[in-house]
Amino acid sequence: MILSEEKLKQTGKKEHSPYPEKDDFFTAVSVDCVIFGLDQESLKVLLIKSDYPLYEGRWSLLGDLISPDEDLDQAADRVLFERTGLQNLFLQQVHCFGKADRHPSGRVISIAYYSLVNIEQIELLKRDHELHWHNINSVGELAFDHNKILNTCLTHLQQQIKTETIGFNLLPEKFSLRALQFLYESVLMVELDRRNFRKKVLSTGLLIDLKEMEANVRHRPAKLFKFNRQKYESSEIKNNFI
Amino acid sequence: MILSEEKLKQTGKKEHSPYPEKDDFFTAVSVDCVIFGLDQESLKVLLIKSDYPLYEGRWSLLGDLISPDEDLDQAADRVLFERTGLQNLFLQQVHCFGKADRHPSGRVISIAYYSLVNIEQIELLKRDHELHWHNINSVGELAFDHNKILNTCLTHLQQQIKTETIGFNLLPEKFSLRALQFLYESVLMVELDRRNFRKKVLSTGLLIDLKEMEANVRHRPAKLFKFNRQKYESSEIKNNFI
DNA sequence: ACAAAAGTGTTTTTTGTACACCCATGA
DNA sequence: TCATGGGTGTACAAAAAACACTTTTGT
Kindly state whether residue B155 falls inside one of the protein's structural domains.
Answer: yes
Each residue's pLDDT expressed in tens, for chain A with a length of 242 residues:
222 223 223 333 334 344 444 445 668 999 999 999 999 999 999 999 998 999 999 999 999 999 999 999 999 999 999 988 889 999 999 999 999 999 998 999 999 999 999 998 887 666 677 899 999 999 999 999 999 999 999 999 999 999 999 999 999 999 999 999 999 999 999 999 999 999 999 999 999 999 999 999 999 999 999 999 999 998 876 778 88
Q: Which of A112, A135, A163 is at the close of a domain?
A: A163
A120 & A183 share domain: no
A75 & A123 share domain: yes
Contact A89, A80 (CB under 8 A): yes
B95 & B118 share domain: yes
pLDDT digits (tens, 9 = 90+) for A35-75: 999 999 999 999 999 989 999 999 999 999 999 999 999 99
pLDDT score at A10: 33
For residues B162 and B139, give the distance between their C-alpha atoms in angstroms, rounded to a whole number. Answer: 24
User: What's this model's pTM, rounded to 2 decimal places?
Assistant: 0.90
* Contacting residues for A36 by C-beta, under 8 A, at least 6 apart: A43, A44, A45, A46, A114, A115, A116, A117, A136, A153, A157, A170
DSSP A86: -
- Taking the stretch 205-224 of protein chain B, residues with Cβ within 7 Å of any atom in nucleic acid chain C are 213, 215-221
Using CB atoms within 10 Å of the CB of residue A157, give its burial: 0 to 12 exposed, 13 to 18 middle, 19+ buried: buried
A36 & A74 share domain: yes
B141 & B179 share domain: no
Q: Which of A108, A138, A163 is at the close of a domain?
A: A163
- N- to C-terminal Cα distance for chain A? 42
Angle separating helix axes B146-163 and B177-188, nearest 10 degrees: 130
Which of A16, A52, A66 has the highest number of chain B CBs within 10 A, making it the mutation to test binding with B? Answer: A66
* Contacting residues for A21 by C-beta, under 8 A, at least 6 apart: A12, A14
B133 & B76 share domain: yes
A106 & A36 share domain: yes
* Minimum CA–CA partner of A63 in chain B: B18
Q: Which of B116, B139, B163 is at the close of a domain?
A: B163
Query: Residue B60's domain spans which residues?
Result: 26-163
**Chain A residues whose beta carbon lies within 8 Å of the beta carbon of residue B25:** 65, 67-68
pLDDT score at B57: 92
For residues B18 and B3, give the distance between their C-alpha atoms in angstroms, rounded to a whole number. Answer: 15
B35 & B66 share domain: yes
Task: Write out residues 111-130 of B within 8 Å (CB-CB) of A.
Answer: 111
Contact A182, A198 (CB under 8 A): no
Q: CA gyration radius for chain B?
A: 21
**Beta pairing partners, A30:** A65, A110
For residues B133 and A142, give the distance between their C-alpha atoms in angstroms, rounded to a whole number. Answer: 45
pLDDT digits (tens, 9 = 90+) for A102-115: 999 899 999 999 99
A155 & A176 share domain: no
Kindly state whether residue B14 falls inside one of the protein's structural domains.
Answer: no
Q: Nearest nucleotide (C1') to the CA of residue A199?
A: C8
Q: Does A54 touch chain B (CB under 8 A)?
A: no
Contact A133, A45 (CB under 8 A): yes
Which parts of chain B fold into alpha helices (H)? Answer: 5-10, 72-84, 119-123, 146-163, 177-188, 194-203, 229-234
For residues A101 and B71, give the distance between their C-alpha atoms in angstroms, rounded to a whole number. Answer: 8
Kindly state whether residue B157 falls inside one of the protein's structural domains.
Answer: yes
Angle at B98 between CA A162 and CA A157, to 5 degrees: 15
